[in-house]
Amino acid sequence: MLRVTDDDPYLWLEDVESEAALAWVAERNAETEAALARGPGFASLKQSLREVLDASDRIPWTVRRGAYLYNFWQDAGNARGVWRRTTLERYRKEDPGWDVLIDLDALGAEEGEKWVWAGAQVRRPDHDRALVRLSRDGGDAVVVREFDLAARSFVEDGFRVAEAKTRAGWIDADTVFIGTDFGPGSLTDAGYPRTVRRWRRGTPLADARTVFEAGTGDVEAWGWHESTPGFERDFVGRSTDFFHSETYLLTADDTPVRIEVPDDATVHAHREHLLVTLKSAWLGQPAGSLLAFGFDAFLAGERTPEVLFTPDGRTALAGHAWTRHHLILETMRDVSTRIEVLTPAPRGGWTREPLADVPALSAGEVVDTDPDAGDEFFLSVSGFLQPSTLYHGHIGDGRDAMDVLKQAPARFDTAGLAVHQFFAASRDGTRVPYFVIGPDHSRTGPGPALLYGYGGFELSLTPFYSGVTGRAWLERGGTYVIANIRGGGEYGPAWHQAALGAGRPRAYEDFAAVAADLVARGITAPAMLGAEGGSNGGLLMGAMLTRYPHLFGAIVAQVPLLDMLRFHKLLAGASWTAEYGDPDDPADLPHLRELSPYHRLAEDREYPPVLLMTSTRDDRVHPGHARKAAARLRELGHRVLLHENTGGGHAGASDNEQAAHNEALVHTFLWQHLGTGSAPA
């Protein structure tokens, strides 16, 4: 049995910007740069990755708002990026003639801030103003400013909110829903807004009228306005934890009327329809089902659903998107996408037909629709070796044929590479799917392999094309592996719930089973197998280090969660107790103590070398997790490097220069320990 200790001499490293902590971080960064960034291959690798990130022929992904397609873009000449727009007609051309609305580099230089784009909400139905969100160097906290799209300038006396984890959305031309830091008592324990207020133009923010409140122990409160003509409605709600919530319809006098569904279900209102996605059984339907009701009939007590999707052992709901008259349904079968169009009939019932054929072991995603404008859709299809293709089409009216809007070029050499899906048997016999991208190992024999996983919060890892991974790893002889372990959503709610709380070790057993299966198939060997994960996946990496160190030759943990006895006291950690458990609850403390990688680190174990990556500006997962683990590993005499970017937030990078540098560090580290001792030329 491993010795688990509560001793923590490194609490001082949780003081994010203290002089002592930052000096210690600077020393660790210097060690990492000396070990990884000064070799002969680092500069060329970084430059190669920067070319991928800055490439001018990338697909500029857009969202339609009225007559325009909006895009945010970063490249070598726009390090922080530009927010811009064009028309669909111009977008079809090689040069879309972009109209730049906000230049973040120019704005940052003018204001002396390292602004990072955090999104914008364009006002419907006029599409003439936007609520722009700007982050200081990548943090989750933002400032909000009203922007005039015609004048291309911020509104001098418009809606403005100081830095906070703000939620804001339009109600009408002169009113917004606002949730922000109003002072003591206005935030939940997790640091998110506890109240929803109506804020009228021209009035002080402090005078905004409260229409809904959540409890301090909840995650957050929210409000949104449905502006579809003829179906204007206001909704508010609260997240009691990460997976449970309550949604209310506000009446004309702001009385909240609850939408009576299970608190672990999600609801979506569209015109006369109400969709309910189940996470547990209800009305005779199993977890993972999608149900449809008439909105008004449901409020009146009707509970007979139209069942739009029912899962089985191999399928799960991946998402849905409305057009004006149709519902596009995305499902997965063994983690490969299927897409259908469902159409409500005038007298009840729904019809369905395929929308597009997605190749096997690939992913399709509806990236945008505009339900107010019509039945237009934008669809992306890609795979591990298949660059993204962006399609545009309309449903119905004889215009079902899709046309290709944009095609991304290949970024790396795929000669000799193939994609396969295998299944590993976990400790309890569960079949765990995983993707292998690489050469034919029956001919090449075992070689360097990188195993990536996440396994939490019902997030699914689906096929995707990565020019960075292709250049840094695949075309240099490595094999890339994605493990679809429990805790994710690849097989619906049950797949996630199997690894909640005290069940978390199932996710770790799944990942370890995939690692062992790779060796059994002759794809790699433990000394040549690396593991990588970020955030919750960083916790997974901590588990691999402390529970299965013999399976790996190197481990990379990015913005990791590692101290499971204090995570709920650090930044947004209180919002994750539904996923892991609550250290302050005596019933949860024993399993969290066993889960906590920081507390399982031991002197008498042999660990593979570790690279820990974090950001000083990460205000979601505290950088103290990575700092303290690095300090503890150093104290115990183990091989560890720490790189802490000063900016970047939870993403770890604010611009392509930082992203390329981070990726070059990661892959140089991996090649040093899993390959021939240095990154291939």
**Catalytic residue set:** 535, 650
Instruction: State CA 196 to chain mean position distance.
Output: 25
Supply 377's token pair: 């859709």
Residue 644 DSSP label: E
Contact 41, 677 (CB under 8 A): no
| Adjacent-strand bridge partners of 70 | 63, 85
Contact 291, 298 (CB under 8 A): no
As a whole number of angstroms, the distance between CA 577 and CA 568 comes to 7
Burial 282-295 (b: 16+ CB within 10 A, else e): beebebbbbbbbbb
Contact 627, 614 (CB under 8 A): yes
As a whole number of angstroms, the distance between CA 583 and CA 593 comes to 8
**Among 108, 169, 154, residue whose Cα is nearest residue 135:** 108
SS (H, E, C) 60-116: CCCEEECCEEEEEEEECCEEEEEEEEECHHHHCCCCCCCEEEEEHHHHHHHHCCCEE
Crossing angle of helices 624-635 and 536-547, rounded to 10°:
20
Burial 463-472 (b: 16+ CB within 10 A, else e): bebbbbbbbb
Residue 561 DSSP label: -
As a whole number of angstroms, the distance between CA 43 and CA 591 comes to 44
Residue 337: CB atoms within 10 Å: 22
Residue type, 417: L
Torsion, Cα 147 148 151 155, to 10 degrees, reads -70
